Amino acid sequence: MRTLVMLLLACSLLLSACDSRSGIAKVQTTGSGILDIIANSATYLSYSLIDSIIIEYSDDIELPDEAPGALYTFTDNNASREIAAVYTNNKLETREEKTSVAGSYVIVQLARIENPDPVSHAAWRPDSTAGRAVEWTGSHAALRMDYSGVELIQNYDARTADGQLVQADGPVMELTKDAIRWPEFEHFTIDAVLAGSDGDIHYSYYLPEDYDASREYPMILVLPGYDGLLLSTGESMRGVNVFSSRAVVAWTQLGEEMIVVSPQLTDWGETSARQTIELTEYFIGNFAVDPNRVYASGFSAGGETLSRVMGTRADLYAAYLHTSSQWDGDYADVVDNRMPVYIFMGQNDEYYGSQKAVEAYDALRSRYIVAGLTESEVGKLVVLELPDNAYFNRLGIYNYHGGGQAVVNDDRILNWVLAQHQP
């Protein structure tokens, strides 16, 4: 009797294993599921957002033939963002073509937050800015430390090409701050410190990928607004001046190899002006800098600081871009050194008012005229641009002071700066 029972049990198990309706194919797995997850962030004119998420599975994944938004869902504290593309890769990186090659990495590309037709001059607003990598509290910016509100849902059973289950549908593993990468800043050094005469100077800098100490490179110092000041040495503040907008990284993407330096200063007064001069001289003396092609760009509070710098050491610089700011320094040193200045401010700047830009332009222009320069000569040394609201609205910008940072989107102006050389 015992032998018969054992035979019946063995047959039952064998039949179950062979029965296609038993669900064996559905539970058959390769074992490990999801191994890791990272997120690439990207900077925009006014904010920084998660741009793509890369999921590493334990085996090569065969994606279902469905729309990207049907495969994954992205939310951030219940705010959603469109999925623009989903594809596989055989390495931990995105593909410009956004097409699949066989591999265990699945790239979830989020929709870019930018006007698809900026030349139309039609007003535009982004549908969503979910997935912020830099957070704002009033005028203060800080790197995001808590990503617990971010959720990526896998809406399908991830399988290999031969049908083995790798990961069942459901939430992907939690994203943490340590998983955030910034590909645009791969060649930046973040939060270096120079022991200066007025205390430590915190700064970040970029060197060209093939930096050669035997060459000479143009260099620009980029001073951020109030949001980029060093309010603390906490982790969330380190390098926020670089990550919070395109004001710094844009200078690395113009097609000319150059050194870019951006300090995080503690105020926008005389102390910061002295520190800026000291940092400029440090780089000229210790890096492969062309001393005839050193430039400066200052936004808002950074512009106030740099105007003070220009009031005493304009001889260090070949040109200066003064954006959405007022001029706190003297003008004489600028005029004596014939140092070109481009002044850019929205017509309806809410913080300073565009009259501040007009006053600086008129002060420089009148001094050049008194010095005997012709109108044509003056026009090459000082330029004023006051864009209207439509200029900013087409870029999704409705704050016209902060929107001044859109100047870095205008290669015409940036190339004007870089075309200047000291005699």
Domain boundary among 181, 203, 231: 181
Burial category of 287 from C-beta neighbours within 10 Å (exposed 0-12, middle 13-18, buried 19 and up): middle
**Average pLDDT value over all residues in the chain:** 89
> pLDDT tier at 16 (50, 70, 90 boundaries)?
very low
Q: What are the φ/ψ torsions at residue 51 (nearest 5 degrees)? A: -105, -40
106 lies in some domain: yes
pLDDT at 136: 81
* More confident: 419 or 238: 419
Mean pLDDT of 9-26: 35
Specify whether 82 is located in the same domain as 225.
no
129 and 235 housed in the same domain: no
- In this prediction, residue 21 carries a pLDDT of 28
What confidence tens digit (pLDDT) does each residue in 320-361 have? 999 999 999 999 999 999 999 999 999 999 999 999 999 999
Domain shared by 213 and 159, yes or no = no
pLDDT given for residue 396 in this prediction = 82
What is residue 117's predicted lDDT score, i.e. its pLDDT?
Answer: 67
In degrees, rounded to 5, the angle at the alpha carbon of residue 174 between the alpha carbons of residues 172 and 176 is: 140
Q: Are residues 159 and 228 in the same domain?
A: no
How far apart CA 108 and CA 86 sit, in angstroms, is 5
Across 98-102, 105-109, 127-131, 317-321, least confident range: 127-131
Position 115 scores a pLDDT of: 67
Residue 125: pLDDT band (50, 70, 90) is low
pLDDT at position 13, please? 36
* Structure-model confidence comparison of residues 153 and 5, the more confident one: 153
pLDDT score for 121: 56
Domain identity same for 157 and 198: no
Per-residue pLDDT reduced to its tens digit, 22-70: 232 333 444 469 999 999 999 987 779 999 999 999 999 999 999 999 9
Whether residue 130 lies inside any domain: the answer is yes
Q: What is the CATH number of the domain that holds 373?
A: 3.40.50.1820
Q: Looking at the structure, tell me whether residues 331 and 229 fall in a common domain.
A: yes
Q: Are 32 and 83 contained in the same domain?
A: yes
The domain containing residue 294 runs over which residues?
A: 185-418
Residue 12 has pLDDT above 80, yes or no: no
Q: pLDDT by residue (tens digit) across 371-406? A: 999 999 999 999 999 999 999 888 888 889 988 989
User: Residue 94's domain is classified under what CATH number?
Assistant: 2.60.40.2180
Does one domain contain both 92 and 200?
no
Span 204-220, average pLDDT: 97
pLDDT in tens, 272-284: 999 999 999 999 9
Contact 334, 341 (CB under 8 A): yes
Q: What is the pLDDT of residue 137?
A: 77
Whether residues 410 and 378 fall in one domain: yes
Residues 331 and 198 placed together within one structural domain of the fold: yes
Last residue of a domain, one of 141, 157, 181: 181
Q: Are residues 330 and 215 in the same domain?
A: yes
The verdict on 198 and 302 lying in the same domain is: yes
Name the pLDDT band for 116 (thresholds 50, 70, 90).
low
Does some domain include residue 5?
no
Structural domain total, the chain: 2
Query: Which of 136, 154, 181 is the last residue in one of the domains?
Result: 181
φ/ψ of residue 298, rounded to 5: -130, 130
In a domain, 17, yes or no: no
User: Within a domain: residue 6?
Assistant: no
